[in-house]
Chains A and B, each alone.
Chain A
Amino acid sequence: MPLCVLEDIRKTYQLGEQEVEVLKGIDLLVEEGEFVAIMGPSGSGKTTLMNIIGCLDVPSSGRYVLVGRDVTLMTDDDLSTYRNEHIGFVFQSFFLLPYATVLENVLLPTLYVERSKWADTRKRAMEILSLVGLGDRARFKPGQLSGGQQQRVALARALVNDPDLVLADEPTGQLDSVTAAEIMGLLAEMNGRGKTVALITHDQSIAAHAGRILHIKDGLIVDGAGPQSR
């Protein structure tokens, strides 16, 4: 069953007088349980594509169906709710709240839920933290952790609401190769448990962890657009 269906997605930005078309008609299908890597040089439009897949941005034209609903027709509030329920983000620079504890950071997505799926969200968050190997660091502040540990916290935060899709934007960009391998191992583990993972990177060795690699260039996918075409 397809999780994401993108049809002829285009995105243009107004840069002063000039109109710049960043995405020039993307067609993409991501099946549930896949591990996809999107690769491309900087300026290729991969971050824009990532933002659209993550419902942070809406395309200028085209259709995007995520978990059975057309996202392009949603209001800003609906998009917020949809992100909360279906998407978990992992960013390159972790983006943890420096003044909150590790546990509080993991709990962040659960605050914006009307009715929680879990009777005890703290217990749920602790379980996820143990899953990423930081069960004993719940009361630490992010500043007391190493980069790799911080990214694990971010991963736990992405997973706490049990999203359908984990979107990781250069998750290892600020980590050394050993730590990067650990994080990729965790992502692969999550994928092994059935979670769909989409990864953005420009690093070939990182992309190699994925089951399918898409290359994007000048706003178009040059290969790997469908699960069958690998």
Chain B
Amino acid sequence: MNRFLNILGQSLQAVRAFKLRTSFCLVSVALGIGSITIIVAATEGAYKKAFDIVALFGPDSVLVLSGSDEARAIGQRDKTLTLDDVKAVEEAFPQAYMVIPMLAAPNTNVAYRQNKHQTFVVGSTADYSRGWTWPVVQGSDLNEEDVRGGRNVALLGVQVVRNLFVDEEPVGKYILVKGIPVQVVGVLTERGMTPTGANMDDRIVMPITTVMRKLLNERRYVSVFRVRFTDQSRVSEYQEELRLFLRKRHNIPDGAPDDFRIISPREVILFLVALTGSLVLFLGLVGCISLVVAGFVLANLFLLSVKERTREIGVRRAVGASRGDIRLQFLGEAVVITTLGGLAGFFIGVLGSRVLTTVAEFPIHFSWKAFAAGVVLSWLVGIGFGLKPAAAASNLNPIEAIRG
């Protein structure tokens, strides 16, 4: 044990002594480990974000959007879902404890006194807060009477409150929505940005009846509805049943595409992972390539170093170092350098991801996993590419080595 530590001490000393070799190897390893650290953190961040969003979205729910995929792809949104569909689903699916339709009026002008703002108006049935697991912090949620009577009431998102009300309490005040006076009954908690960069808090929620009649002049169609099931584990099964049910109601012939789209928590996760996937792939490729390059840089510089230090190796052999001692020393030098490179790479990764998060709103989550991945990989590079030069050093014949 003592001898082992002595030899590692020699490795450390050589790492300090041959500064040029150390810095070249260290930098090249650090770059590779840095990008791999970012990848691990980004992948973790993406999954974490995805699961956070699913938790908000409601893991027991699916979203039904009107219009086919094809139509949406070219920016159209066909109106295909009706209030009757919503009612029919409510009746046909007893396993669904909640079916709430929603209608959107984007870019609607709102005003309070001299403050003006343009926002996204959502038409909803009662219990918006419960349906979307989105708590009301001030005032109260929309109730059944509000919806049945088509009352002029609204829940405000935090962003709207910020833009319209400076110092006043919003609840109880009247605002103008498209010129119609509407009373504020509640304020929603802050949700922040979606991964695609939309501000979730920039919205107003009003009874769906009010939005249809007074804002959109719409009698039948809704843009989306949400279904929450009691049994969370069977959501994908229900999703398929729901799809077949709606196809039948819309009289879609076999082989023709759906004229609606159902989004489940699983799809939310897939979407988010795909969003970060391309960057992860790119960085992964860069990371792997630079690690391999780093490995070759290391192997090359070490082979040169062995050549340069032939005499040192000869002297060490003469005073009693075995082949194994020499191999251990050179391997130790390689691993010490790559470990330092790995640590430096981790810090590069942390800094790099700071830049990524500020520039691209990229979800990054650092944990011990990213750190461990960096350290283990740097060891692998050190051992993998240090083995050959270390073997070359240990196989030197001491007589030849001393002769120089």
Contacts and interface: CB of A to CB of B under 8 A. Distances in A.
B322 A81 contact: yes
Contacts of B17: 99-100
Q: Select the residue from A54, A91, A112, A114 with max chain B CB neighbours within 10 A.
A: A112
B21 to A, nearest CB: 12
B320 A157 contact: no
A91 B402 contact: yes
Contact of A54 (B3, B311, B312, B318): B318
Interface in A67-121: 76-77, 80-81, 83-85, 89, 91, 95, 97, 99-100, 104, 108-109, 111-116
A112 B319 contact: yes
A170 interface: no
A174 interface: no
Contacts of B189: none
B320 A83 contact: yes
B36 to A, nearest CB: 33
B244 interface: no
Given A108-B315, A111-B3, A99 B322 contact: no
B320 A81 contact: yes
A24 B272 CA distance: 81
A99 B14 CA distance: 8
Interface residues of B, number: 27
B292 interface: no
Contacts of B9: 111
A49 B43 CA distance: 65
Contacts of B318: 54, 56, 83, 89
A9 to B, nearest CB: 16
Interface in A3-60: 51, 54, 56-57
Interface in B1-16: 2-3, 6-7, 9-10, 13-14
Q: Select the residue from B17, B319, B325 with max chain A CB neighbours within 10 A.
A: B319
B315 A85 contact: no
A57 B403 CA distance: 13
A97 B315 CA distance: 9
A157 B324 CA distance: 22
Contact of A113 (B314, B320, B324, B398): B320
20 contacts: A56-B398, A56-B399, A76-B322, A76-B323, A77-B324, A80-B320, A80-B325, A89-B318, A91-B402, A108-B316, A108-B319, A109-B319, A111-B6, A112-B319, A112-B321, A112-B322, A112-B325, A114-B2, A157-B319, A161-B320
Interface of B: 2-3, 6-7, 9-10, 13-14, 17-18, 311-312, 314-325, 398-399, 402
Interface of A: 51, 54, 56-57, 76-77, 80-81, 83-85, 89, 91, 95, 97, 99-100, 104, 108-109, 111-116, 157, 161
